[in-house]
Chain A
């Protein structure tokens, strides 16, 4: 789609709520460099969807990916755990490293990679199994637990971390599909962290949720980032401002600008970023 700058003043969408203190506060503390994408180009068949994307993602922090619809945020995110391999027509070029190792190298098994780089999807997608089985699925698959007690423990800690334990501890044997939307999404997060991934990719995890469930998940993201590297795609500028330390702005398949979240929202270098974050962008 063609995005263009409109003449009329920012009358539509939310004006971003910029965190007050972040303007003059010291740069947010970031962990070590976790993933690094260099000159990533991607094609769906003949159509190029990503152009020379260079992005670094740091440990123990949240990186937000923002940009207009169709600009390639999801596509880029899915490069990071090789989820695009599932799509026949998709071709990736460039260099993406996880802790210095090229994840597209031939000796890397995407299956093992995905256990290290977990993913939470836009629409909650619990398996049609019990709550317990949903969370136990991956640990069992990877043989992480020697016996049932250990497995129980993993399920419990994952659900606790996802902030769902209190609500479901009495009905672990009931189907995960029977939970509310927000609970389902937290179940999916519990499922994703059950294998202790190093990186968690979240593609618009709150877009199907109401404000209260969203707030719960944002709190959760805040806590999770203490030991995790998180990349999150979001359409809500407030959400990006609230949860992320760094923000990357994509436009038409290109990475326009990436910087500290506060900088992107208050003092971006690029005019397009300025227009987008102030809501002047189609």
Chain B
């Protein structure tokens, strides 16, 4: 019986238990619900939880533990020569064992007998190989006796596990059900119990989110530390040349200077902000202060669609339309613009983040209380004076926050840059030349043949951490500003 079937059955059992529990509670109070501590459905939930929850937890633990435990049992059969080998060799052996073990249940009784004999040396292992081949398990060479033994143990351990899992789960469910059933009495505080379980569930969910973040950061951090054992932090943080070479050429021969990448990232982001901030801000002002409700109802969603376009599509656009266009325009006025350049990537990225700036700023401008505007009108200020002198200053901190959030979006952007700015790490002040960014280099260091012990690969983690720290800093600061601004009007 597969875990999924067991889960489904437990779910049904839980639902049934809910109704039984509810009925039981009405029964024990003799129909007078006022005597019950909690409303009947809480008794239903109580019984359902007792029935299903422990069993589901058992199922989950069992399913996770099954693999390592059975594998451990099988490994006992392998000779020490294998066990002392490298991880890769062990993994290879285990995969052979695994494939034999998967074939075993398909064998008929006689065939299985052949295998048992081969295991203990009564027939040759090539006989066993033939038998297995008949059932689709093709082995490259005659299996060692120890391999057969391990596979045999593995298969039987699995069979045992499969046999006992449903028994244990259903047994636990039944136990929980009967125990809970006898405990249902009018004075049982089922609501408190159910709510406590709910709260633990919610708590668990938030813990998962937090732990994932911590886990990601830690794993990147460890790999980064690993990287710095190859390359000194000085060379990384202050190096001006990015030239990692290939992993196969030799260890630590390349140069891993962060500066060209950081520069490219910041340069492109700056161009993007230069495009997005004025356009986005003016759009927001128009939307919130001047546009009639009809225009607003139409234009605001359209603007927000911009934010939903996948960035790779912006990349296409930059590569196939905007880059060449810019090059041609440059050619006409005597500027030598390469098809992929800071300018192309920056402008297209700017278009991409316009919606972030505009929709956040729009919200913030709308949050400026109408009473402030009226106060200003009441003093004889015109609408534009009111916007300039009252609304925008009041909204400014929030708008700065919006821009910072947009900036961190721009800094983390990859696809547009790959397609529109190129992959050449240049330390240049000229916006018409190609540069590249941190994200692009992370991608290129992690594609192709990987060797996780070379600085060429590990540098990706260092870059990732760098990027993470930058955007995290920006986000925290932005959120701090936005929040401070919100409080002002509460």
Contacts and interface: CB of A to CB of B under 8 A. Distances in A.
A119 interface: yes
Interface in B350-404: 369, 371-382, 385, 389-390, 393-394
B253 to A, nearest CB: 58
B371 A111 contact: no
B389 A115 contact: no
Given A118-B378, A121-B374, 12 more contacts: A88-B293, A114-B379, A118-B379, A123-B371, A125-B374, A127-B375, A127-B390, A137-B379, A138-B379, A138-B381, A188-B375, A195-B379
A125 B380 contact: no
A119 B371 CA distance: 12
Interface-central residue, B292, B378, B389, B488, by most chain A CB under 10 Å? B378
A86 interface: yes
B375 A114 contact: no
Given A123-B371, A177-B488, A86 B376 contact: no
Contacts of B381: 111, 137-138, 141
16 contacts: A86-B374, A86-B377, A88-B292, A112-B380, A115-B380, A118-B378, A119-B378, A121-B371, A121-B375, A121-B378, A123-B371, A125-B371, A127-B375, A138-B379, A141-B381, A191-B379
A128 B375 contact: no
A131 interface: no
A88 B292 CA distance: 9
A240 interface: no
A195 B389 CA distance: 17
Interface of B: 292-293, 369, 371-382, 385, 389-390, 393-394, 488
A129 B376 CA distance: 13
Given A86-B374, A141-B381, A195-B380, A125 B369 contact: yes
Interface string A103-144: 000000001111110110101011111000000011001100
A126 B374 CA distance: 11
Nearest to A126: B375
A73 B378 CA distance: 17
Interface residues of A, number: 28
Given A128-B394, A177-B488, A142 B380 contact: yes
A192 B380 contact: no
Nearest to B394: A128
Given A128-B393, A128-B394, A129-B393, A192 B379 contact: yes
A142 B488 CA distance: 28
Contacts of A195: 379-380
B371 A192 contact: no
A125 B379 contact: no
A204 to B, nearest CB: 13
B358 to A, nearest CB: 22
Contacts of A63: none
A177 B394 CA distance: 12
Chain B interface SS verdict (over half): helix
Q: 10 closest A-B pairs (Cβ-Cβ)?
A: A115-B380, A119-B378, A125-B371, A138-B379, A114-B380, A125-B375, A128-B394, A111-B382, A111-B380, A127-B390
Contact of B377 (A114, A127, A192): A114
Contacts of A116: 380
A83 B377 contact: yes
Contacts of B380: 111-116, 138, 141-142, 195
Contacts of A191: 375, 379
A81 interface: yes
A195 B488 CA distance: 28
A145 to B, nearest CB: 15
A115 B385 CA distance: 14
A192 B375 CA distance: 9
Contacts of B385: 141
Contacts of A188: 375
Contacts of A119: 374, 378
Interface string A139-178: 0011000000000000000000000000000000000010
Contacts of B393: 127-129
B374 A83 contact: yes
Contacts of B372: 125, 127-128
Contacts of A118: 378-379
Contacts of B389: 137, 141
Nearest to B380: A115
Contacts of A127: 372, 375-376, 390, 393-394
A83 B378 contact: yes
A128 to B, nearest CB: 5
Contacts of B373: 86
B290 to A, nearest CB: 12
Interface in A187-233: 188, 191-192, 195
A136 B176 CA distance: 75
A54 B372 CA distance: 30
B395 to A, nearest CB: 10
A118 B379 CA distance: 6
Contacts of A129: 393
